[in-house]
Structure formats: C-alpha cells, structure tokens
Structure 1
Amino acid sequence: MKNTIALRIADFLKNHPPFDMLSKEQLLEVSSRVQVLYYDKNKVIFNENDEGHNQFYVVHKGAVALQKRRDGQDFTTIDNCDEGDIFGLRPLIARENYVIKAMTREESIVYGIPIATFRPIVEQNPQVGNFLIESFASNTENPYSEEYRKKLYTEEDIDVQLQTTTDLSDLQPTKYVKNVFTCPPEETTQNVALLMREKNIGSVVITHEEIPVGIVTDRDLKNKIVTGDFPISTPIRNIMTTPVICYPKNTTIAQAQIALMKHKIGHLCITKDGTPKSRLIGLISEHDITVSQGNNPSVLMKAIKRASKTKHLKRIHEKIMILLKGYIRQNIPLTHISRIITELNDATIKRCIELSLAKIPETPPVKFAWMSLGSQGRKEQLLHTDQDNAIVFENVVDERLEETKAYFIALAQKVTKRLNTLGYEYCPADMMASNPKWCLSLDEWKAQFTKWIAEPGDDEILLCSIFFDFDISYGDSTLTDILGKHIFEKTAQNTYFFAMLGKSVLQNPSPLGFFRQFLVEQNGEYKDFFDLKKRAITPITDAGRVLILSHQIQHINNTAERFEKLAELEPENKQLYLSCSYTSKALLKFRTKHGLMHNDSGRYIELSALSKEEKMKLKRCFKTIREIQELIKIRYKLTSFI
C-alpha cells in the first residue's frame, strides 16, 4: 500500500534544492521518514546553546526567523526562512550545539529531515553537500571553514569533493546594479525589446509607481514572442515574469546565490526594505554573482566567455591563480587540479583568439586550427610559463599561400600579445604561431614532420618533443586529426627514430649524484639550485612520449594518462608505469607549489628550503625515473648510445 503522506511530502520537496538533486528512490526514502511538525506563531523550534537535534528542517508553510544575540544584547533577526527554505543544519554539518535561535513568525508547518537518513546521501552526492554548506554559511552568518566540510564528509570523501570547494567570501554583500532600466506595465513589448537592444541589456524591470511588479528578460522574448505566442505589440505585462523576488541591499553572495537556485531564476530585485511592496533600488543578476564569486571554476568559465577585453581576462586569470593556490594548499589530487585549470586556460586562449579575430576586418580566408604545444598541449601548464603555440591552416594554391599565411601571422601576433599581457612570456626560442616557421599549411606541416622523423638529429628530436605534444585550442579539429595521423604513419616501425627519441630520455640521468646527493647547477644565475624541469620532469615526460608513440596511441597527451594507458597495454610493466604516472603528477604538483610560493615558474628549487619530507618524496620520484630509463635503454637497445 502506498504511503500517501510520504508521496505528498516528496511532491513538495522535489521542487526545492537540494532535494531536486536526489533520485526518485532517495527522495521517497527521505520523505517516508520525515517528521511533520506544526507550530503556532512565535514558538521556538530551537534556542541558542540547545543541544543539536537529530534532524534539520524545511519550511513547508509559514515563516521562521533565525535570530542571533549581538554582543550579549537582545536577539536580532539575521535571516527569514519561508516555503522551501532549509535551516537548523549545524547538527548535520558541524555536529555542535546551536548558536542561533529559530522561532516561527506565523503559524507554520515544518518538515524535520532525519540526519541519519540524509547523511549517506550527502556523502554520495557532492552537489547536495555543497548546497547544504552554502545554506549553512548563508543563514548562520558563520564564515565558511574547511573544518565544516571535513565534518560533513568522511576523510575518504574529501578528495572526491574538493574540486568543487569554494573559498566562501560568500558572506560579503553582493554588489548590485543601481542604474536599472524600467518601464510601466502598459508599455508595448516591441518598445521594450528596442530598449534592450539599444542599451545592450538582458533584462528590464516592470514597475508601477517605482514598485517592481515583474521582470522581462531575453528568455521571455524568445519563449513568448519569437514563438508566436504573443504579438510584438502586446503590453509587456502579458509576457513579464511575476511576481519578482525581492531582497534588501545588504544581501550576501551566499543568500543571493541560494535564492537564485531555489526559485530557478536569473535576477533578484533589490528594494528599500527587501519586500515587493517598497521602492526598487537595484538588481542582482547571475552575472553579478559571477563577478562577486570569482574563484569558482564554473563561475570563472562563464566570466571568461563573457570577457570583452584583455584587461578583463587578465583579472579573471589572476583569480584562476588564486583558485590554483587554494587547490594546492588544500592538497587536492593533481588530476582534479589539472583538469580544471587546463579547461580554464584553454577557454582563456580561445577567448583571446576570438577577441583577436574580432579586431581583424576580414574573416579567415580558410579553415585553421590554433595548436597549443608543450606543457599546455599535455594539459600540464598550471603556472604562467612561456608560450609554445602554432597554427595549421587548410591547403591553398601556391598563388594564395603567402597572402593566406600573412593573415594568420597577423592574427597570431595579436593573440600572442594578448597572452603576454595575461602573464604568458614570449617563447625565448620564438616557438610561437607569430613566427612564419610555425604558421604553416597542412601540407607544409606534413613535410616538416616528415623531415624531422626521417632525419632525427638532436635539433629535430628537440623539436619533436615540443611539437608532437600538440592539442587544439581553437579551430577545425579535422586539421589536427590529419596531422596526428600523419605523424603516426611516418613513425610506425621506424626503429631508428624511436632509438633517437629513447636516447633523448637518457640525456639527463637519475638526478641523484654520488652518496645520494642532489645534482645541482654548477654555474650561472641558478648556481647551486636544482633544475626540477631538466633533471626530473623532462625525463619522465620524454619517456611517456616515446612509449605511447611506439604503441601508436593518439589523443593521449598528458604524461600521467599516457603511463596509465601503458599500464593497460603492458600488464607486465603495470606497477612501473603506475609509479611513473604518480611521479609525473607529484613532480608537477611540487613545481606548482614552489612556483606559487616564489611567484615564478617553479623550475629552479633551492634545496636548503626543502623540508626533510619533501626531499624524501623527490628521491622516491627519482628512483622511478631511473627505473623507466633502464627500461627504455633495454627496449631500444641504447647501450651503444651511452
């Protein structure tokens, strides 16, 4: 027999976050264990210093005030909860006594959600946990603390959840737009649309005697006018969204964000007293939240896509570095860090290209692809290092080749200049798309790669080590796919080429010298410093490249992922390859950490600054490097080269 009460509760909860993130089975399980509570007006649900209940609460009907004692004085209201709002989360998140009071403002029905039932769901679903933490921060006025996350999740869960960690400066007031465009309800939709186009805005608030009664956005025009549901001459009141959700001007970022999520809307109206019955003074949009909470990956991605100037991208990129610092400080697994930062870096490069294209009057004469090379091509460029990039464009007749190439070189000059402004230094060896040597047609690139593979001297092998690790950042992927296939066709069964690639892996032997001392630079600017890139990162990177290339595996550029694939392909060497994967990530994280610490590339390490634990970790990495070098020496019969 169906539990009709549980079904009704589930029907209510499924319309409110975070319950809308649950599966049907999870929702019914929770709903069947909910306690339905009725309270008269001005009844205390829990008081300051009360022991935490075994449940948290959701308002079904009515209103609940959350109050906090200020400096030993009387209680003041810090938040009001109405239908669908969550409160009383402290026992779930912090497992502590309450520090605020919850009291009904009117007759209310409240659902008690058992913590014992809900905690396993939180541990399985990071989105649910993150929403609860943000709700907790919002309605308690407590600063967000990683301590709470550790209490909410088990230690094993933290690594999985941390990629969505936010540095909640969310309790700062949200900046809002004060110059809001408004119109009366009887205005025609056509005039409102013309206003939005003229002012380049995405919304207009509908007001009556300065009181907000509705809002119209681009989406409303698309869904109600473009579809033909209403004529363009219809009064705007017929298509506006109403009622509007209103908040006071001191609304925090967390409160605004949760309100937008809860009501599934894109704008909040700011009124004089925070109610829909007072004068409109401003507007908060999702974009305002984006700007305010600029250290969340999804938020940063949206900001990058909307950036209209290089200076905007520069500010966003600075926030990416703040995000990276937070990830490193919290010891998040490098796999998560690399994926997130690489996506943000790729989006930044793409936006630089889009902005540069917009500055050139002519459209590209043919299809092209912008290739990121080296560490960015391998998805390993976390810090600001120098640029390595190239352009491949569609083949053209000889008469048009120079003209076409000139267009793309001009484009590349604009792009590399923008990237330099963001903090990516120009390549000292000029391995950039702005160099005519690295801005070539598809056939020219094929000829170039064929020459390097056929005549693999030291210079050619060095160039292969850079250009073989390419990844498309913008443009037509068919061009890079063809180029990749050409490389594999030319290297297949080419034992001499692989021997030369293998030889390059052995150029830098295991970084430990006699008596297990580190080999350091003997002269120059970095005398007595350890070159982490040359003596550790490059050997493991080169080893992964030659081995994966010999297996003819395309589209895996990341060093750690290459070794993980090799572990599948060669079970007999699985442990060594997995150790190499770990080593590549450990070295990259080590370099990133020290680069952030010293505000440089992290390449050169001052050994005296290392802790004993850090030195031991590096030495374990060096042991793996020595073992993979031995494997390559035997596999490619390189004793004659040594």
Structure 2
Amino acid sequence: MKNTISERIADFLKNYPPFNAMESEQLEKLSIEVVIIHKETNTIVFSQNENPHDHFYVVNKGAVSLSKVGSSQILDICDEGDVFGLRPLLAQEKYKLEAKAYEETILYAIPIKEFKPLALENKRIGNFLIESFASNTGNPYSIKHRGKLYGINEDAERYSTNKILDLQPIKYSKDLITCAENASIKEIADIMTKHNVSSILVEKEQLPVGIITDKDLRKKVATGQYPITESARTIMSSPIITYPKELTLAQSQMAMMKSNISHLVLTEDGTTDTPAVGILSKHDIMVAVGNNPAVLLRAIKRAATAKRLRSIRHGTMNLLQGYLEQNIPLGLVSKIISELNDASTKQVIQLALAKMEREPPVKFTWLSMGSQGRGEQLLNTDQDNAIIFEDVADEKLEETRSYFLKLGERISKSLNTIGFEYCPANMMASNPSWCQSLSEWKKITAHWIHNPGPDEILLSSIFFDYSVVFGEKFLADELSHSIFGHANRYPQFFTHLASGALQNPSPSGFFRDFLVEQDGEHKDFFDLKLRALMPIIDAARVLILSHSIKSINNTAGRYEKLAELEPNNKELYLACSYASKALLKFRTRQGLLHNDSGRYIALDKLNKEEKIKLKRTFKTIKEIQSLIEVRFQVKNLLR
C-alpha cells in the first residue's frame, strides 16, 4: 500500500534544490523518513548556540526568520522551498543564528543521516552544498536570498523597523507575591506593603485560586465590611481569569476591558490547572500603551448612537488595513477584529434595549452566526443572527415573541447603520423564523436533522458556527446539546452534511484555469467565497462535528484540532488550515482595495504572483473534498 503522505512530501521536494537533483527512487526513500513539524508564529525552531539537531529543515508553508539573539534585525526570511539549518550539521558546529517561525509554518525535517549518503553519491547535490558554504545562504538558488544571509535585505529592514507595538508580547512581572487561602487579611496587607505591590495571588496546592488587590482592601476591609482577622478566601476575587504567558499588549488591554478587571494572572497554558508564572497590572499596560485596539474598544463601549459606532468602525477598518500591510499573522488579526466586531454588536444590543418600552420579559441569547460566529468576519459582510428566548406558557408565547422581534428589528437596523449589510436570505433575528423560544428551536433543528433536504442542511449547518455575543449562554448550550444529541442518534445526518459540503462549484477547470461566473452582474468574475472559501469551511465543519467536537468554531482552529486527532492526515489538515487563512487574507485585501466584501475577484486585475497563490489552495480544496467523499460515502447517498 502506498504511503500517501510521503508521496505528497516527495511531490513538493522535487521542485526545489537540492532535491530536484535526486532520482525518483532516492527522493521517495528519503521522503518516508521526513518528519512534518507545525510551528505557531514566533515559536523557536532552533536557538543560537544550540547543538545541531539530527535533521535540517525545508519550509513547506509559511516563513521562518533568521536573526541574532538580542538583535531586532531579521537577517533572512526563508519561505516556501527554502532550506535552512543544514550548514551546522555538515560543519559539526553550533547554530550561529536563531530560527523562529515568522508566521504559522509547516516544516519538513530532513534527517541528515539519510540525506548525507545521497549527497556523497550525487555530484549536483554536492555542488549545491559547496555553494551553500560559499554564499552563506541556506539556498543559493533562491535569487532573492542569494548572498544576503548576513546582510540586510529590503524586506528584513522593513519588518525590523516598522513593527506594530501592540502586537508584541507584553512584559509582565515574574516576581509573584503569593499567600495561602487561610492567611489573615492583616498578614496579607503586611506582605503587600513590604513588597510594595498592588496585588497578591492566592494559591492552593501551588495553583492560583484567587487574587486580592488594593481595591479589595479599600472596598471590603477599610469600609468595615470585614475585620482584618478574616482569611484571604473571604475577600479574594475568585475564580480568577487567567491567560497564557504569550499575551500581547493588545490582547491584555482587551482582556481587562472585556472582564472589567485591573489585573491578569498568567499561567503556563492559560488555565488555572497550571502554576502561575506572572501577573500583569493595568499600570504595566499603561506604561507600554500606544495607539492600539484598546482605544477602539473603549470608544465602542462609550458610544451612545449607532452613527458614532459607524465612525469607530472606520477606525477598525484602518487598523485592519495596517495589520495586513505589516503582514501580521492572520490568526491574531482575526481575534482582534472579531473582539471589536463582537463589542460593536454588544453595544448595539445594549442601546436597542435602552430604547425598548420595558425590560425583556424573559432571559434571551443573541447569536451571531456565519463568518462572525467563526471569528472570520474581517470586512463589512452581511448579518447572520438569531434570538433564543426562554420558554413561556403558550398563552404568552406570541406576546413574548413580539417583544423580541421588535428588539431584533432595532438591532438589525443599527447593525446595518454601522456597516453590516442585511442578510439577502433574511437569516436575521428580525425575521420570526429566526426569533424562537428554546423549545421551538429544539423542535426546528431536530426536524432539520431528521429530514435533511438541501435547505435543511444549509439551515442546520449554520447552527454549528455561532458565538454568543449577548445574553444567557446556557440557552445556546442547551440548544447545542440538543442538536448534537439528535445528530449522534442519526449518523446519516453527517453523510448529508458532507454531501452539502461538496455542492459548491469547483474553483478550477480541466486545465487549472479559474472557473468564472458565466452570466449575471458578476459575469467573468471569480467567486472567491463560493468556489474556494466555502468548500474549505464546510469540510472543516463536517469533519470536526463527526468527532463530536463542538467547542471550536474557527475554520483554521478546526483543522489544527483535526491534525491532532488524525495524525495520518496531519499534513493535509495543516495545509487546509493554512489555505483557509490565506484565502481569508486574500479576500480581506481585495475587499479593502475595492471597498466591498471581497467576494468577487476581477482576475485581470491580479498579477501573476497573486494568481499563483490562489491556485495553490485549489489542490488542497480538491484533496479535502476527496477525503470527505470517501469517508462519508457520499456517492452511495446519491445513488
């Protein structure tokens, strides 16, 4: 049986030196030994002065920066097909530079033990290695890198001198001052005074369980609410909100504003299940603050009208434009813009509630679905939303629905005012079909699952891509639990969902030409959403749901989780993750350029490089669709 992963590796390597000098049999043999490595942005591949690894590296997707430790100057950037980390192995010396993932990257690790005999046999490979030593570059055949490994090229200079401050890791205090739960308030005050700190971390079995700040001492002790003989657990804030130590300035500001807190506890993995490694105060952030998303978030929360939110939205688009120009990793950009979008929606809802004649009759949840639900809505695309409200007696149902429909209309109108178009299919909370009680939603979604026609598949699938922007999360959780329960009791649903994921038209024709629209308003344009983005989004959804994973909505995140769950398909899933980000980034750039949704692309306006980058994703799309077709036996369904 053929090893499809090694075949895929060989197909890639044969296009780049020195592997293009190998015989097919040699390359196939070597590819079997290659290890696929996934690196998140800013993670280290190897460190300066580290002993050489037993393999060197080829960039499959993404980019790796090479630099001297302690210097902000990037000496070289290796991208697709570039070789690096080879010279120290052959010279038997330590690494002279630090290699770090410049963006999310997939690497092929080539074992030197398997490669070296081939280099001795093959004169062309030997010449490549000689030139590598002579030119100080990992790939002398790469024109843009040739001879520049220890100099500053134009790109390196641009990136090293024009970084966006708020996306750099935030500096935090590593000198933690801690106490036990049973420590008295007097002891705590003495410790804080002695160390001149504004907070103290409360730990239990070396794990963080609470935090006490100056504010707690003022409000809870100085006012006489609690005596100084009470214990820490009496006045501590708990449970605490924790974040991973790799937090950026922008993320830390937004985290504090989102939760209305003045201190963040940083742990090894961002949860309370690992020891604390540092603490970050609002003062720390103010020291480092510059012009960043937190300013926009603060303005959003203070906005009193939809028109004011619209002007702030322009600022968000300017921020997005700047991030793309700086080539900031799209995963981080998406998180920041999504936070700002959610904050805008939340403020719109609060303003709409304030204008209602009375308080909501029951608890409710506002769901943002589609691209916003997946955290992928970067441009001003159309709305997809719904309301779930608590069950009421039959005689009060229509009266209750009438209230929430009126609320939904006001919210949808204001969202349109700030820049989010109305949904062409009317999938909005202002539509009675999308404003239902919890019991009604359960019945509707159960019907969709057990009667999966094309329309039902489309409607049910969007309920797997939602985020709770406002209201009671338990309502959404209960509905989600019901949907998954029905889906698991009716496994054939996943086959229908898979069939729906294969309905979008192919992005390319027989000769790999772009398939464009044949008629209508967008004749001769390429539909980036329908032909490229949706197939890869739909595939991620059905695959992750088949594993009963319901906590990940983002497309790239779903593929990364799938890579963990199915190691045999790891390379394909990581390629899909990369492709989903590349396509979203491409659409965003096009949308900002033409001041539209970026959906329809005029191919004659693209340069050759842009067309090549787009076509690279088409192969990945076809591969993931083939996997779905086989796994879910879609052909049998169509017979």
Determine the C-alpha separation between the residues in 2 that align with 1:516 and 1:152.
Answer: 40
Q: Is residue 433 of structure 1 aligned with residue 437 of structure 2?
A: no
1:519 aligns with 2:523: no
TM-score (norm 1): 0.57
8 Å Cα contact 1:295-1:322 kept in structure 2: no
- Residue equivalent to 1:315: 311
- 2:167 paired residue among 138, 160, 163: 163
Deviation by residue 1:559-582 (Cα, 9 ceiling, x = unmatched): 111111111111111111111111
- Structure 1 residues 31-46: aligned runs within 5 Å: none
* Other-structure match for 2:322: 326
Tell me how far apart the structure 2 counterparts of residues 224 and 458 of structure 1 sit (CA, whole Å): 59
Q: Per-residue CA shift, 1:121-171, capped at 9, x if unaligned?
A: xx9xxxxxxxxxxxxxxxxxxxxxx99884469xxxx69x67359xxxxxx
1:564 to 560, 566, 586: 560
Q: Secondary structure of the residue that 1:386 maps to in structure 2? A: coil
State which of 350, 358, 376 in structure 1 corresponds to 2:346: 350
Instruction: Go from structure 1 to structure 2 and tell me whether the alpha carbon gap of 1:547 and 1:93 turns closer, same or farther (over 3 Å shift).
Output: closer
* Partner residue of 2:294 out of 293, 298, 304: 298
Equivalent position SS for 1:588: helix
Closer, same or farther in 2 for the Cα pair 1:148/1:306, shift >3 Å?
Answer: farther
Check if 1:392 corresponds to 2:396: no
Letter in 1 for 2:537: T
1:468 deviates by 2.5
Higher-Rg member (1/2) = 1
Kindly indicate whether the alpha-carbon contact (under 8 Å) linking 1:594 and 1:602 is maintained by their aligned counterparts in 2. Answer: yes
Letter in 2 for 1:427: C
Rounded Cα–Cα distance in structure 1 between residues aligned with 2:527 and 2:462? 19
The 1:474–1:456 alpha-carbon spacing in structure 2 relative to 1, beyond 3 Å, is: same
Which residue in 2 is equivalent to 1:610? 606
Tell me the residue number matched to 2:186: none
Give the whole-Å Cα distance in 2 for the aligned partners of 1:92 and 1:434.
55
Query: C-alpha distance in 2, partners of 1:462/1:228?
Result: 58
Query: Residues 617 and 162 of structure 1: is their aligned pair in 2 closer, same or farther, counting only changes over 3 Å?
Result: farther
Distance 1:594 1:149, change over 3 A: closer
User: How do residues 3-402 of structure 1 correspond to structure 2 at under 5 angstroms?
Assistant: 150-151=159-160, 163=167, 296-402=292-398
Aligned residue type for 2:357: P
Letter in 2 for 1:406: S
Is 2:479 the counterpart of 1:475?
Answer: no
Q: Which ranges in structure 2 are unaligned for 5 or more consecutive residues?
A: 1-69, 75-96, 101-154, 170-213, 225-261, 263-281
Q: Deviations over 1:324-360 (max 9, x none)?
A: 0111111111101100000000000000001111111
Q: How many residues align?
A: 391
> Paired residue for 1:143?
none
1:506 aligns with 2:510: no
* Residue 294 of structure 1, CA deviation: 9.9
Deviation string 1:233-285 (CA, Å, 9 cap, x unpaired) is xxxxxxxxxxxxxxxxxxxxxxxxxxxxxxxxx9xxxxxxxxxxxxxxxxxxx
Alignment partners' CA distance in 2, 1:361 and 1:433: 19
Matched, 1:403 2:399: yes
| 1:152–1:603 CA distance, 2 compared to 1 (3 A) | closer
Counterpart of 1:139 in structure 2 is none
Corresponding residue for residue 574 of structure 1:
570
In the alignment, residue 471 of structure 2 is paired with which amino acid?
Answer: G
- Residue in 2 that maps onto 1:484: 480
Residues 224, 465 of structure 1: alpha-carbon distance in 2 compared, 3 angstrom cutoff: closer
Cα deviations by residue, 1:263-315 (Å, 9 ceiling, x for unpaired): xxx9xxxxxxxxxxxxxxxxxxx9xxx9xx99611111111111122122111
Q: Secondary structure at the match of 1:308?
A: coil
Task: Provide the C-alpha distance between the structure 2 equivalents of 1:319 and 1:294, rounded to a whole number of angstroms.
Answer: 15
Q: 1:496 aligns with which of 489, 492, 499?
A: 492
2:597 alignment partner AA? S
Mapped to 1, the partners of 2:407 and 2:314 lie a distance apart of 25
2:378, 2:447 → 1: CA distance?
32
Deviation at 1:465, TM superposition (A): 2.6
1:458 aligns with 454
2:464–2:550 contact (8 Å) kept in structure 1: no
- CA deviation vs aligned residue, 1:61-118 (integer Å, no higher than 9, x gap): xxxxxxxxxxxxxxxxxxxxxxxxxxxxxx99899xxxxxxxxxxxxxxxxxxxxxxx
User: What is the DSSP-based 3-state SS (H/G/I as helix, E as strand, rest coil) of the residue aligned with 2:511?
Assistant: helix
Q: Which amino acid aligns with 1:333?
A: P
Whole-angstrom distance in 2 between the partners of 1:531 and 1:550: 28
1:191-223 CA distance string (max 9 Å, x none): xxxxxxxxxxxxxxxxxxxxxxxxxxxx99x96
Q: 1:489 and 1:94 mapped to 2: Cα distance?
A: 54
Which position in structure 1 is the counterpart of 2:617? 621
Could you tell me which residue of structure 2 aligns to residue 261 of structure 1?
Answer: none
Residue 79 of structure 1 corresponds to which residue in structure 2?
A: none
State whether residues 510 and 623 of structure 1, in contact with CA within 8 Å, keep that contact through their aligned partners in structure 2: no
| 2:548 is equivalent to residue 552 of structure 1 | yes
How far 1:447 sits from its partner (Å)? 0.4
Checking the alignment, whether the CA contact within 8 Å between 1:377 and 1:470 is kept in structure 2 is yes
Gaps of 5+ in 1: 1-90, 96-119, 124-145, 166-218, 230-265, 267-285
Which residue in the other structure is 1:447 paired with?
Answer: 443
Segments of 4+ in structure 1 off by > 3 A?
A: 91-95, 146-153, 222-229
Change (3 A) 1:224 1:433: closer
Q: Which amino acid aligns with 2:402?
A: A
Partner Cα separation in structure 2 for residue 598 and residue 475 of structure 1: 36
In 2 relative to 1, CA 151–633 (structure 1 residues): closer, same or farther, beyond 3 Å? Answer: closer
Matched-pair identity in %? 57
- Mapped partners of 2:530, 2:373: distance in 1: 18
Q: Report deviation, 1:470.
A: 1.4
Residue among 503, 524, 535 paired with 1:539:
535
1:466 to partner: Cα distance:
2.4
Task: Give the direction of change, closer, same or farther, for the CA distance of 1:571–1:425 in structure 2 (3 Å limit).
Answer: same
Q: Tell me, in whole angstroms, the C-alpha distance in 2 between the residues paired with 1:626 and 1:339.
A: 28
TM-score (norm: length of structure 2) = 0.57
Contact 1:295 1:319 in 2 (8 A): no
Task: Give the stretch that moved more between structures: 476-485 or 457-466.
Answer: 457-466
Over 3 Å counting, the alpha-carbon distance change for 1:487 and 1:517 in structure 2 is same
| Separation in 1, partners of 2:543, 2:627 | 10
C-alpha separation between the residues in 2 aligned to 1:332 and 1:225?
44
SS in 2 for 1:304: helix
What residue identity is the alignment partner of 2:333? I
CA distance in 2, matches of 1:429, 1:447: 21
Deviation at 1:556?
0.7
Q: Aligned residue for 1:14?
A: none
Q: How far apart are the structure 1 equivalents of 2:523 and 2:598?
A: 15
- Any conservation in 1 of the 2:505–2:531 contact (CA below 8 Å)? yes
Map 1:590-605 onto structure 2 (within 5 A): 590-605=586-601
Paired residue type of 2:345: I
